[in-house]
Amino acid sequence: MASISALGIGSGMDLNGLLDQLKAAERQKLQPITQQKRVQQAKISAFGKLESALTNFREAAAKLNQSATFNGVSSQVSGSAVKAAAGSNAPVGTFSVNVTQRAQAYSIATAGVADQSAQLGGGSVNFTLGNGDAVSIEIDPAKSSLTDIRNAINQSNSGVQASIVNDGSGTPYRLVMSSAQTGTEAAITSIDFGGDLNGQLNLDANTEIAARNAELNVNGVAITSQSNRVEGAIQGVTLDLEEVGAATVNITRDTELTTDAIKDFVKSYNTLQKTMADLTRFGGEGGTNGELLGDSTLRTVQQRLRSVMSAGVSEGDMRMLRDVGIDMKLDGTLELNEAKLGELTSSNMTGLTEFFAGSSRDTGLAGKLNSSVGLLLQSDGPIKNSTKGLQDSMRRLDLRFERMEDSIDRTIERYRSQFAQLDSMVARMNSTSSYLMQQFDIMNAQLGRN
């Protein structure tokens, strides 16, 4: 009898359909593992959300652990003579600035030549600067055009810059040499040409522009500067001299910097509290529980934060959050009294600095929070350890899933083999039955039976 190549052909039964049903029933054994994997993955994602919220809160607290957050100043200038940029050590106050002279760089041009690419002969270009530096630049006869000389001067990085101008005359090309910086110390005090250049290039005294230092006075104090950027005339302030004239520089305390940092601290803490509340939510009957409901690691995070926030600090006039205008509500979030904070930033910035930043890195509230949250987030901290444990569990579940799938595949193959045997057996029985029926029909015909 020919072998059966497809289930059900010999027997006429839907064995493939039956096999599919058995396979679906067997794969139900995978559902508990799949569900466990979903739960574990949800917890891993939940710890990721917790870690992100903690990191953002730590960054907000870190800003309040820096004295610069409380010592910021801003500058405003009345008048166009100067621009001002104040650093954190600039004193608060008003300063009168009078610019009587801006700094200027030395410059002089040579007499013109007809062709800027024509070779002028070898030699040297020699400079002496106002600070005493002497520079000598050798010129190759084969590279002695006005263009070559300009390039050689610029490539020497000697404190002198060169360019070529065209004055439109019959001999239009002039070599202009100028100090790279303003002021008398950077000025070119002498220029001479050696070798063949001595007869080819001559300085035009009519084009000479003398170097000058900047001169100004601040609140009546006379100040001289080599450049138009003046530092130290007002402590912690950089002045850029724009023009001759008077200006008023007003340095004020930048309370907005402090206020924004404290607002960000409160906002990030409340975001962290909301994240933890969502992760520990009790859904009740028919509801959905938070992924970390009842989790011991999250309880540890909550307890440590609550401990630091409620303990306050042990130094300074302000010891507790409420002293700086921050109240802790019943739901664990913070509420900022902006009016009280505004009074403190105007009248007691020192107290705010002591409360948040402290006398050292770890004594203020921000420093304590940074240390505590840092321990929670470190590589061997509770969050990383819990996440690692869940990831290990996921790997074990993956192995169980693979082993179960292999077992199911073997079971289905066994069923397939048994069904194939059943199909062949039924086919043989059907064939035998057909043969017997034929024999009975022949016997009946021979006996004359209808």
Q: What percent of the chain has pLDDT over 90?
A: 66
Q: Which residues contact 323 (CB under 8 A, 6 or more apart)?
A: 312, 317, 355
Sign of CA dihedral 305, 307, 311, 313: negative
- As a whole number of angstroms, the distance between CA 256 and CA 252 comes to 11
What confidence category does residue 369 fall into, taking pLDDT thresholds of 50, 70 and 90?
Answer: very high
Write out pLDDT tens, residues 257-273.
Answer: 999 999 999 999 999 99
- Helix/strand/coil for 203: strand
Predicted local confidence at residue 11, as pLDDT: 60
- Residue 112 DSSP symbol: P
Structure tokens at 271: 């975001």
Query: Which pLDDT band, with edges at 50, 70 and 90, does 401 fall under?
Result: confident
- Between 143 and 18, the higher pLDDT residue: 143
Q: C-alpha angle with apex 198: 127 to 107, nearest 5 degrees? A: 40
pLDDT digits (tens, 9 = 90+) for 206-219: 999 999 999 999 99
> pTM of this prediction?
0.66
82 vs 284 pLDDT, higher one: 82
CB 377 within 8 A of CB 300: no
Domains and CATH numbers, the chain: 1-72+254-450 (1.20.1330), 73-102+214-253 (no CATH), 107-209 (2.60.40)
What's the pLDDT score for residue 449? Answer: 66
The arithmetic mean of pLDDT across residues 268-282, rounded, is: 94
Give the residue, 357 or 17, on which the prediction is more confident.
357
State how far the Cα of 156 lies from the Cα of 136, in Å rounded to an integer: 9
- Could you tell me the pLDDT band of residue 4, with boundaries at 50, 70 and 90? very low
pLDDT at residue 242 above 80? yes
Predicted confidence at residue 427, as pLDDT, reads: 73
Provide the pLDDT for residue 2: 39
Q: What is the pLDDT of residue 230?
A: 97
Q: Which residue has the tokens 């006398």?
A: 359
Instruction: Quote the pLDDT of residue 88.
Output: 79
Tell me how far apart the terminal alpha carbons of the chain are, to the nearest angstrom: 32
pLDDT at 349 over 50: yes
Q: Is the pLDDT of residue 447 over 70?
A: yes
Distance CA 427, CA 433 (A): 10
User: 262: which 2 tokens?
Assistant: 């404290």
Tokens of 221: 């104090």
Q: What is the pLDDT of residue 30?
A: 84
- What is the average per-residue pLDDT within 117-121? 94
363, pLDDT greater than 70: yes
Identify the residue with better confidence: 205 or 411: 205
φ, ψ at 385 (rounded to 5°): -65, -40
| Distance separating alpha carbons of residues 82 and 94, to the nearest angstrom | 14
What residue has token string 């027997």? 11
| Percent of the chain residues past pLDDT 70, beyond the cut | 96
The model's pLDDT over 434-443, given as tens digits with 9 standing for 90+, comes to: 778 887 777 8
Mean pLDDT in residue range 274-285 = 88
pLDDT band (50, 70, 90) for residue 1: very low
What DSSP character marks residue 28?
A: G
- Quick one: pLDDT at residue 3? 41
Predicted confidence at residue 377, as pLDDT, reads: 94
For CA atoms 23, 24, 26, 30, the dihedral sign is positive
pLDDT tens string 158-206? 999 999 999 999 999 999 999 999 999 999 999 999 999 998 999 999 9
Residue-averaged pLDDT of the chain = 90
Give per-residue pLDDT as tens, 32-74. Answer: 888 898 889 999 999 999 999 999 999 999 999 988 888 888 8
Question: Is the per-residue pLDDT at 15 higher than 80?
Answer: no
